[in-house]
């Protein structure tokens, strides 16, 4: 609603979308800590002043402006932007100008509520004096997260490449933490080390990201991994391996999921979480898949103009996906020669698994497309248990749970659903502990990949 004109919904399009970021401060919500900081550093490298907002400090504000029926990530991010602007106003006084900022909130099309967060948040911000002038910058899965229009058109292609690369590096730093922390000699060293490593990577992306000197950053990453090896105690035997799937925000946001990974580690596990890169690759894959379907349809109807447009899209998304998978493979190949970090699967392989097992279809879409075959890949890879983390009532994760639970019973692999909202469930730790006991039994009888039991 436009301020002063409650009947108009024009602001949902005029103040939500892709805007030129020149001269603005871009406010990035913190989802997974490392990834958000590296994305912000990438933007800064391209001359855009981007900063990551503190997260969960404004949860009470988020709750005040929501009804409780929204998905939990919507409440948290609502609170993050309201808290940030409140603090910024206190700091800057009269010189605070909401027009100097763009709040970054991407969206997804498809059958769930993520596409509505920024619209809902627009309505809330329009109801708060001054915040109606703060624009919401949004990129969308509809066009495979195109960044055109945000910065000078000549640099958009490079920004997209570096941003993707930063996502891969962010995943590797996360995976490194989960690989070393269960085996650290001194408690706390792994967390400190990864925090410092994240800061060096932020500097690297800010200073040399535009040069696209990826080899230089991979060299740095190799150095970090070599040092990380010294944090681990070689005397500690390998532990049961637990795989995580679920809704991307909840499973990667440490506060929101009440630090589930640390709790799984506390009860004896080593954990691998599904990556952020997998989601980005899925978006490109899905757009390619859709364009191919369109092309087939246009061919059947012999619509020449539409055929040409679909073919262009097919080639564009095919090239994008090929590039992304090539870069990802190259980075993992180098880091894995130093330490055995978990690698991602190609999205195409995940779709093949769903087809082979006849469990679900990519036609339905959503993260269930990744979570269901991801779980089966964990099982085939010899993992000792799987956890599904998601916001309470999340549709794709509830579908995943319904399909996978009976399957896991049949396969005799421990499985746990962990839905979260802002409440603290007294039984949650007990459930995680029991799950870890089962995972340990599985480990004792079956070992884990590449290791005897």
Which positions lie near ligand SF4, rule CB under 6 A? Answer: 71, 73, 112-114, 247, 367, 391, 394-396
Contact (Cβ atoms closer than 8 angstroms) between residue 35 and residue 171: yes
Quote the distance between the C-alpha of residue 52 and its chain's center: 15
CB 264 within 8 A of CB 436: yes
Least distance CB 367 / ligand SF4 (angstroms) = 6
CB of 235 to ligand SF4, least distance (A): 42
3-class secondary-structure state, position 451: strand
Smallest gap from Cβ 131 to ligand SF4, in A, equals: 23
- What strands lie across the sheet with 241-246, from one edge to the other? 270-273, 241-246, 385-391, 415-420
Q: What is the DSSP letter of 366?
A: S
Min dist. Cβ of residue 93 to ligand SF4 (A): 37
Q: Which is nearer to ligand SF4, 107 or 132 (CB)?
A: 107
DSSP H or E run through 387: strand 385-391
Q: How far is the CB of 401 from ligand SF4 (least distance, A)?
A: 12
Residue 419 CA to residue 376 CA, distance in Å, equals 20
* Residue found under tokens 């105690």: 233
CA distances from 321 to 158, 195, 249, 281, 344 (A): 15, 30, 23, 7, 14
120 Cβ neighbours under 8 A, 6+ residues apart: 70, 74, 78
Helix or strand run (H / E) with residue 62: helix 59-64
Of 108 and 232, which has the nearer Cβ to ligand SF4? 108
Nearer of residues 114 and 285 to ligand SF4, judged by Cβ: 114
Nearer to ligand SF4, 279 or 299 (CB): 279
Report the nearest approach of ligand SF4 to the CB of residue 223 (Å): 37
Length of the chain equals 453
**Cβ distance to ligand SF4 smaller for residue 73 or 373:** 73
Minimum gap (Å) between residue 425 Cβ and ligand SF4: 18
Report, in Å, the least distance between residue 73 CB and ligand SF4.
6
Q: How far is CA 75 from CA 12, 59, 118, 236, 362, in A?
A: 19, 7, 12, 41, 28
Q: Kindly tell me which of 373 and 396 has the beta carbon lying closer to ligand SF4.
A: 396
Q: Which is nearer to ligand SF4, 85 or 397 (CB)?
A: 397
In contact, 218 and 368? CB cutoff 8 Å: no
Is 342 or 389 the residue whose CB approaches ligand SF4 more closely?
389
- CA dihedral 231→234→238→241, nearest 10 degrees, is 20
């Amino acid at each position: 609603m436009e301020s002063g004109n409650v009947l108009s919904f024009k602001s949902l399009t005029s103040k939500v979308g892709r805007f030129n970021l020149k001269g603005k401060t871009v406010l990035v919500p913190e989802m997974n800590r490392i990834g958000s900081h590296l994305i912000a550093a990438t933007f800064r490298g391209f001359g855009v002043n981007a900063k990551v907002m503190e997260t969960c400090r404004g949860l009470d504000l988020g709750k005040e402006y929501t009804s409780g029926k929204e998905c939990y990530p919507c409440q948290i991010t609502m609170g993050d932007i309201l808290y940030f602007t409140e603090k910024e106003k206190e700091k800057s006084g009269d010189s605070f100008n909401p027009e100097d900022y763009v709040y970054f909130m991407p969206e997804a099309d498809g059958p769930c509520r993520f596409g509505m967060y920024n619209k809902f948040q627009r309505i809330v911000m329009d109801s708060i004096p001054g915040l109606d002038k703060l624009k919401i910058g949004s990129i969308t899965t509809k066009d495979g997260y195109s960044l055109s229009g945000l910065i000078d058109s000549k640099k958009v292609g490079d920004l997209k490449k570096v941003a993707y690369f930063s996502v891969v590096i962010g995943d590797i730093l996360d995976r490194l933490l989960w690989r070393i922390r269960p085996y650290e000699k001194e408690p706390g060293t792994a967390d400190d080390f990864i925090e410092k490593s994240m800061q060096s990577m932020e500097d690297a992306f800010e200073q040399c990201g535009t040069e696209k000197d990826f080899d230089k950053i991979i060299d740095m990453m190799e150095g970090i991994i070599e040092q990380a090896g010294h944090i681990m105690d070689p005397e500690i035997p390998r532990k049961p391996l637990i795989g995580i799937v679920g809704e991307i925000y909840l499973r990667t946001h440490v506060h929101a999921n009440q630090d589930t990974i640390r709790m799984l580690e506390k009860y004896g596990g080593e954990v691998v979480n599904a990556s952020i890169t997998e989601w980005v690759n899925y978006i490109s894959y899905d757009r390619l898949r859709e364009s191919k379907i369109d092309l087939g349809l246009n061919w059947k109807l012999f619509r020449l103009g539409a055929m040409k447009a679909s073919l262009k899209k097919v080639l564009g998304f095919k090239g994008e996906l090929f590039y992304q998978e090539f870069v990802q493979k190259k980075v993992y190949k180098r880091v894995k020669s130093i330490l055995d970090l978990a690698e991602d699967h190609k999205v195409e392989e995940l779709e093949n698994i769903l087809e082979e097992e006849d469990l679900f279809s990519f036609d339905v879409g959503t993260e269930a497309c990744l979570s269901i075959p991801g779980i089966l890949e964990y099982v085939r890879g010899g993992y000792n248990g799987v956890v599904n983390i998601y916001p309470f009532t999340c549709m794709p994760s509830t579908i995943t749970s319904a399909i996978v639970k009976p399957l896991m019973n049949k396969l005799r692999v421990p499985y746990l659903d962990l839905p979260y909202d802002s409440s603290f469930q007294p039984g949650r730790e007990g459930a995680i502990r029991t799950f870890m006991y089962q995972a340990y039994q599985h480990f004792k009888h079956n070992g884990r990949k590449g290791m005897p039991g």
